C-alpha cells in the first residue's frame, strides 16, 4: 500500500483541496508528473490541464488548472494555480471565454517572447477544450 502525503490545491479564489493523498498527477510544463510520498524536492511550473488526485480513501478527484506552479517535498505537495475548478464545474462556455480572451490579448502583444508564450498558452487551452469536453 502506498504511503500518503499532504496535498493542497490552491487558487486565488479559494482552497480547492487540502487532504492526505496517495498520488497526484500534475500537468507540468515539461510533461505530466506523478507525485507520491517521499518524492524528491522539486519545483515546477504548471500548464493548463487536468490534475488527478487519488485520495487516501481510494477515491479519485479531478481538477482543471490554468497555469501556476507546484512545490513538491518528500512530505507533501502544494499546487498554486493561477485559476482552478473542479472538473465537474467546467463547461465548454468557460473554456471558450478563456480562449477568446487569450486571442484578444495576443492581438495586442508587441514582445516576441510574450507572443510566443501566449501562443503556447492558447494551444494548450485549445487542446484542453477538445480533450476534456467532447464535441
Residue extents of the structural domains in the chain: 5-86, 92-132
- Answer yes or no: is pLDDT of 52 > 60: yes
Identify the pLDDT of residue 32.
Answer: 93
Identify the pLDDT of residue 131.
Answer: 66
Identify the pLDDT of residue 134.
Answer: 56
Task: Look up the pTM and report it.
Answer: 0.79
How many residues comprise the chain? 135
Identify the pLDDT of residue 111.
Answer: 83
* pLDDT tens column, 79-135: 999 989 898 887 778 778 878 888 888 788 888 887 777 777 777 777 776 666 655
- Answer yes or no: is pLDDT of 16 > 90: yes
Identify the pLDDT of residue 129.
Answer: 67
- Answer yes or no: is pLDDT of 59 > 90: yes
Classify 5-86 by CATH class: mainly beta
Compute the half-sphere exposure of residue 12: CA atoms within 13 Å on the CB side of its CA: 5
Question: Average per-residue pLDDT in the chain?
Answer: 88
Identify the pLDDT of residue 109.
Answer: 82
Identify the pLDDT of residue 132.
Answer: 67
Neighbours of 119 (CB within 10 A): 13
Cell of 21: 493523498
Mean pLDDT is lowest, of 6-20, 47-61, 72-86, 98-112, for 98-112
Q: Which residue has the cell 490541464?
A: 49
Task: Please say whether the beta carbons of 63 and 17 come within 8 A.
Answer: yes
- Would you say the C-alpha torsion 83, 86, 88, 89 has a positive or negative sign? negative
Amino acid at each position: 500500500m502506498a504511503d500518503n502525503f499532504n496535498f493542497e490545491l490552491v487558487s486565488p479564489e479559494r482552497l480547492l483541496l487540502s487532504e492526505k493523498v496517495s498520488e497526484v498527477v500534475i500537468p507540468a510544463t515539461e510533461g505530466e508528473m506523478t507525485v507520491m510520498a517521499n518524492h524528491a524536492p522539486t519545483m515546477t511550473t504548471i500548464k493548463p490541464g487536468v490534475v488527478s488526485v487519488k485520495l487516501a480513501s481510494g477515491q479519485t478527484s479531478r481538477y482543471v488548472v490554468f497555469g501556476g506552479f507546484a512545490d513538491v517535498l518528500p512530505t507533501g505537495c502544494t499546487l498554486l494555480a493561477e485559476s482552478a475548478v473542479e472538473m465537474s464545474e467546467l463547461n465548454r462556455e468557460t473554456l471558450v471565454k478563456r480562449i477568446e480572451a487569450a486571442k484578444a490579448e495576443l492581438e495586442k502583444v508587441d514582445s516576441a517572447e510574450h507572443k510566443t508564450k501566449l501562443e503556447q498558452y492558447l494551444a494548450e487551452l485549445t487542446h484542453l477544450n477538445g480533450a476534456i469536453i467532447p464535441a
